[in-house]
Chains A and B, each alone.
Chain A
């Protein structure tokens, strides 16, 4: 499988506090790559850096092109999509409108100023794929929590993102929804690189192709699920520190 995104020596500084401290990361197409680590390990900040929200040093290269210094929307147009911890969809717009917007970043001003003739095919197809085929005209604001997360993922799909950075995509979901989401992730990862920031260890074990553990801004371990969970340093981080109740809860859930 080809490497979609290569991060080298990423370093993010917040007023003297180093949130990400020299991280190397490779995301390959065909893999669901989990990023785990305790709170404050720098997972979300790393995603912020890659997507252009946080300033950093180092380098992020996608398909041979350096992304550092580019604006948020330019990075997005190069096929890097992300979701957020709390689902951010456009609540007052319908599901179809949400997806149509996500599909149209390259539209000409002229076509923007006209009314939508019909839904683009990929929007219709994606709606089915994320299980919202019946909800086209439903305002996104009244979707169930899990549906919002799916919609958000769907918005990345129609936008032709081939590197997906998902921040806690199953937060607040029930068991069945988690399963569906996990299968969806593997399904879409067939020809894309998917990175998932997650606390839920069961979910990770069930669906991770590869795991990278971050701790205090640096990569602690990286490899398959078994390799990582066998690593003594990882166990220490997760079991030896008391300030990480969610991870423990999640691990025992």
Chain B
């Protein structure tokens, strides 16, 4: 049936042209500020006139990271409930707006923006992977809001809009290396998942090793989520290193430690120092595969202090006796208290006031006293080396002399000069 095809083709060409024209017109008419011009950050919509104040909890409740991040969510809720029970912040009750980061950086960015611009929260608590934090960082800077990030990470970052309440490298990696050096380790094998934290950590380890006369015999990366470790373990075993430094993440640890134990490697002849295995992960790996191995954190459930006893008891009462507490949970718990203490000190919920008053704010936390560093927004923390024992818990075998000042860019370490660049 002959239609009018020539017209059809032209029609579509016309549609194209029209669309392009409309787009071009509107786009140019709507052009805002150009590079170099200052933009005014969107006006904050935080409303503190009522008797409640809203904060955001942004953790992955679905996807691969939900395993870890739901525990952080629990800790945030516990802290908020405790503070509310004690009268709130500035006399106002804290109200949580919860969001799911879905283990995807883009979702974190999207939800962060929603929390700030739609829900008008005073601060947001959450994030886990560095990718999620990097995705949220511009959102918090552009909208001039606050994020409290509770997980140890690879350092080399300091944003005025983020408070980092987990360890940076000089509060975890370097103490772990110091400990290994002290115990006479002269050669290391590095095993990690293939992403930013292990690569940065291993860069630091290599620099440290070069300076301290430790030989690095090998450096292997497994794809994230990989469960095939026979090659890597063969190479570790063949290297005859004094110790292994493990920056693997998630399920890979299970496969790695099973293989490690099965080829007959023991903590006595070749200990593994891990920086991503906490109380939560030990169960899945199987205690028989990991007993006697080492971990480096700032907090263990077994830390002996009245604050920790209270924290563990409150947590178990709330969430069940079989649950354990771990470092990131404790850091998240601390982050809520640190925010509340800063607000009290500043007498205001405004971002600028919190930034101005943050320096020196402290909290008697389960791990010991933590203090905010006003320059880099990190927190002074005590470093601890733990040994995994038969009950599945970690026990401190070494700890630093009091809290270590955070140094995210490792400016205080000469051997790290080649590594770091400050902005």
Contacts and interface: CB of A to CB of B under 8 A. Distances in A.
A and B touching (Cβ–Cβ under 8 A): yes
Interface stretch (B2-10, B132-140, B232-240): B2-10
Nearest to A136: B1
A118 B9 contact: no
Contact of B5 (A96, A117, A136, A137): A117
Interface in A134-183: 136-137
B5 A114 contact: yes
B1 A117 contact: no
Interface string A83-119: 0000000000000100000000000000000111111
A116 B4 CA distance: 9
Nearest to A118: B2
Contacts of A119: 1-2
- Say what secondary structure dominates the interface of chain B: helix
A115 B5 contact: yes
Contact of A96 (B1, B6, B8, B9): B1
- Considering residues B1, B3, B9, which has the most beta carbons from chain A within 10 angstroms of its beta carbon? B1
Nearest to A117: B5
Contacts of B3: 115
Interface in B3-20: 3, 5-6, 8-9
Contacts of B1: 96, 119, 136-137
A114 B2 contact: no
A116 B2 CA distance: 8
A28 B45 CA distance: 88
Interface residues of B, number: 7
A117 to B, nearest CB: 4
A117 B8 CA distance: 10
A116 B6 CA distance: 9
Contacts of B8: 115
A114 B6 CA distance: 8
Interface residues of A, number: 9
B338 to A, nearest CB: 63
A118 B9 CA distance: 14
Contacts of A114: 5, 9
A118 B1 CA distance: 7
Nearest to B2: A118
Contacts of B5: 114-118
Contacts of A136: 1
Nearest to B12: A115
B11 to A, nearest CB: 10
A151 B240 CA distance: 76
Interface in A30-44: none
A8 B290 CA distance: 74
A136 B3 CA distance: 14
A137 B2 CA distance: 11
B9 to A, nearest CB: 6
A117 B7 CA distance: 10
A119 B2 CA distance: 7
Nearest to A119: B2
Interface string A122-140: 0000000000000011000
A116 B1 CA distance: 10
Contacts of A117: 2, 5-6
A166 B9 CA distance: 38
B7 to A, nearest CB: 9
Interface in A43-71: none
Q: Give the most central of A114, A115, A119: most B CB within 10 Å.
A: A115
Interface string B313-327: 000000000000000
Nearest to A115: B5
A118 B2 CA distance: 4
Contacts of A137: 1
A54 to B, nearest CB: 40
B1 to A, nearest CB: 6
Contacts of A116: 5
Interface in B281-313: none
Nearest to A96: B1
Contacts of A118: 2, 5
Interface string B8-47: 1100000000000000000000000000000000000000
B317 to A, nearest CB: 64
Nearest to B11: A115
Nearest to A113: B9
A114 B5 CA distance: 8
Interface of A: 96, 114-119, 136-137
12 contacts: A96-B1, A114-B5, A115-B3, A115-B5, A115-B8, A117-B2, A117-B5, A118-B2, A119-B1, A119-B2, A136-B1, A137-B1
The 9 nearest A-B residue pairs measured at CB: A118-B2, A115-B5, A117-B5, A115-B8, A114-B9, A116-B5, A115-B9, A137-B1, A136-B1
Given A115-B3, A115-B9, A136-B1, 7 more contacts: A115-B5, A115-B8, A116-B5, A117-B5, A118-B2, A118-B5, A119-B1
